[in-house]
């Protein structure tokens, strides 16, 4: 009989997170997978078309069984985000009271909010099954950065909640070596032997694509900015793809573009998020709109097409200690596509780029350094550093290697 995995993930298909592919891979390996998730609303802040409180609450996708419990969409305000964070575990509390699902393992995919994990803790305790946690965002650190709240009356209860969740887990997996230390060195000790560095992989569709194929695939799209990307064969093009949030520190790009007014450089931004309108406003305030190609959020499977039409890929963060500990998922995706990396980042991201010798790093938020690096990029940049990026990916971040490692814990 196939082993049954209950996955707790507030975000799941059609929202674009790596847990989608992890669950699909487990099904291929013979597991029976059920995902408890919310009504999709990330990152736009409103329910996706076709979904709602009374629409598509149960679904099967790639043989993964999906159960969607009610939550309040994120919206575009701090209050909306707080309501979103707490409505999901409240719905999960009632789901736990009445569910008849029997699982052999519980796997919690924790991107913010950590509050979602309370559902898995209750289920695992009630049914006496192993509980696994995959930490993408450290709490309460992430709460303080995203909300700006540092009041001990709010942060300390969150801290206690996190301690209880960590204590309840049989195994904890984290996305960087620095995250291991952060979890183990909490005030309430977490045994090192149950905390494991398990980096994120990139899905199989992240791979190098030749330019002619990309042009053929995208040429029929009726979008002015995509046309600009296809038609512009001369400019040096630097891509950023994914969530456009405040944590990404993208305010450095308009400032950099201003310093590069006399250079033939374009920044290709593909994605959506809470910071996008503010970013566009900053671009227009500095009168550098011609330096940017802004493309709406795309299916993850199409991202390699856009990357292939660019010369390098960009990563940046806010200047906080938390992000020096972070290896962002897009780093693996860029490397899988054979993209040289330009990063306004330090810590773990810089370590990986240096080890791979696949790009350049500058201080976080330093537009002068970033502009200087971009001006000095050699013509052979993509061929030289792109190959090294792909080689490092194949040695460290492939799906087979990492899923094989994790599967040992199920066995």
Cβ count within 10 A of residue 225: 16
Q: Rounded to whole angstroms, how far apart are CA atoms 310 and 337?
A: 11
pLDDT in tens, 272-311: 988 899 999 999 999 999 999 999 999 999 999 999 999 9
Domains identified in the chain and CATH numbers? 4-198 (3.40.50.2000), 211-396 (3.40.50.2000)
Cα–Cα distance, 82 to 74 (Å, whole number): 8
Q: Which of 196, 180, 191 is nearest to 406 (CA)?
A: 196
Cα–Cα dist 307/271, whole Å: 13
Supply 298's token pair: 């795309």
pLDDT of residue 380: 67
User: Which of the four pLDDT bands, split at 50, 70 and 90, describes residue 163?
Assistant: very high
CA pair distance 345, 343, nearest whole angstrom: 5
SS3 track for the chain? CCCEEEEECCCCCCCCCCHHHHHHHHHHCCCEEEEEEECCCCCCCCCCCCCECCECCEEEECCEEEEEECCCCCCCCHHHHHHHHHHHHHHHHHHHHHCCCCCCEEEEEECCCHHHHHHHHHHHHHHCCCEEEEECCCCCHHHHHHHCCCCHHHHHHHHHHHHHHHHHCCEEEECCHHHHHHHHCCCCCCCHHHEEECCCCCCCCCCCCCHHHHHHHHCCCCCHHHHHHHHCCCCEEEEEEEECCHHHCCCHHHHHHHHCCCCCEEEEEEEECCCHHHHHHHHHHCCCHHHEEEECCCCHHHHHHHHHCCCEEEEECCCCHHHHCCCCHHHHHHHHCCCCEEEECCCHHHHHHHHHCCEEEECCCCHHHHHHHHHCCCCCHHHHHHHHHHHHHHHHCCHHHHHHHHHHHHC
- The C-alpha atoms of residue 287 and residue 289 are separated, in whole angstroms, by 6
| Residues 39, 56: Cα–Cα separation, whole Å | 9
For residues 296 and 270, give the distance between their C-alpha atoms in angstroms, rounded to a whole number. 6
Asked whether the beta carbons of 118 and 125 are under 8 A apart, the reply is: no
pLDDT above 70: residue 37: yes
Express each pLDDT in 307-352 by its tens digit: 999 999 999 998 888 889 999 999 999 999 999 999 999 999 999 9
Cis before 46? omega within 30:
no
What pLDDT digit, counting tens, does each position of 353-394 carry? 999 999 999 999 999 999 999 998 876 678 889 999 999 999
pLDDT score at 1 = 67
Whether this prediction's pTM lies above 0.85 is answered by yes
Cβ 274 vs Cβ 246: under 8 Å:
yes
Strand partners, 108: 8, 133
pLDDT digits (tens, 9 = 90+) for 114-162: 999 999 999 999 999 999 999 999 999 888 877 777 888 889 999 999 9
**Chain-wide mean pLDDT for the chain?**
93
What is the per-residue pLDDT across 165-181, written as a single tens digit (0 to 9) for each? Answer: 999 999 999 999 999 99
Say what percent of the chain tops pLDDT 90.
80
List Cβ neighbours of 70 (8 Å cut-off, separation of 6 or more): 38, 39, 53, 87, 91
């Amino acid at each position: 009989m196939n082993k049954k995995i209950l996955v707790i993930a507030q975000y799941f298909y059609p929202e674009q997170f790596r847990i989608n592919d992890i669950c699909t891979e487990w099904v291929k390996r013979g597991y029976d997978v059920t995902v408890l998730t919310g009504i999709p609303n990330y990152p736009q802040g409103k329910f996706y078309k076709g979904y709602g409180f009374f629409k598509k609450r149960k679904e099967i996708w790639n043989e993964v069984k999906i159960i969607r419990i009610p939550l309040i969409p994120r919206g575009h305000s701090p209050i909306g985000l707080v309501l979103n964070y707490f409505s999901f575990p409240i719905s999960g509390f009632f789901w736990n009271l009445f569910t008849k699902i029997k699982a052999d393992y519980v796997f919690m995919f924790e991107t913010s909010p950590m509050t979602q994990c309370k559902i898995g803790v209750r289920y695992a305790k009630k049914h006496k099954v192993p509980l696994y946690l995959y930490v993408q965002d450290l709490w309460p650190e992430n709460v303080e950065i995203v909300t700006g709240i540092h009041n001990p009356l709010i942060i300390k209860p969150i801290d206690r909640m996190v301690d209880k969740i960590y204590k309840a887990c049989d195994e904890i997996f984290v996305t960087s070596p620095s995250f291991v230390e952060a979890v183990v060195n909490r005030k309430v000790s977490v045994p090192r032997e149950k905390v494991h560095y398990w980096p994120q992989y990139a899905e199989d569709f992240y791979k190098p694509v030749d330019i002619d194929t990309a042009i053929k695939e995208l040429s029929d799209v009726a979008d002015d900015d995509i046309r600009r990307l296809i038609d512009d064969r001369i400019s040096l093009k630097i891509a950023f793809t994914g969530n456009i949030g405040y944590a990404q520190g993208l305010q450095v790009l308009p400032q950099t573009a201003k310093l590069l007014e006399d250079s033939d450089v374009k920044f290709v931004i593909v994605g959506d998020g809470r910071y996008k309108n503010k970013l566009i406003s900053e671009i227009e305030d500095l009168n550098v709109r011609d330096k940017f190609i802004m493309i709406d959020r795309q299916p993850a499977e199409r991202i390699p097409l856009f990357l292939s039409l660019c010369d390098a890929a960009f990563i940046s963060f806010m200047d906080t200690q938390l992000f020096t500990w972070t290896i962002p998922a897009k780093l693996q995706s860029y490397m899988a596509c054979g993209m040289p990396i330009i990063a306004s980042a330090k810590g773990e991201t810089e370590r990986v780029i240096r080890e791979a010798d696949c790009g350049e790093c500058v201080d976080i938020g330093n537009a002068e350094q970033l502009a200087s690096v971009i001006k000095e990029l050699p013509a052979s940049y993509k061929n030289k550093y792109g190959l090294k990026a792909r080689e490092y990916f194949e040695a460290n971040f492939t799906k087979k290697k990492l899923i094989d490692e994790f599967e040992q814990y199920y066995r």
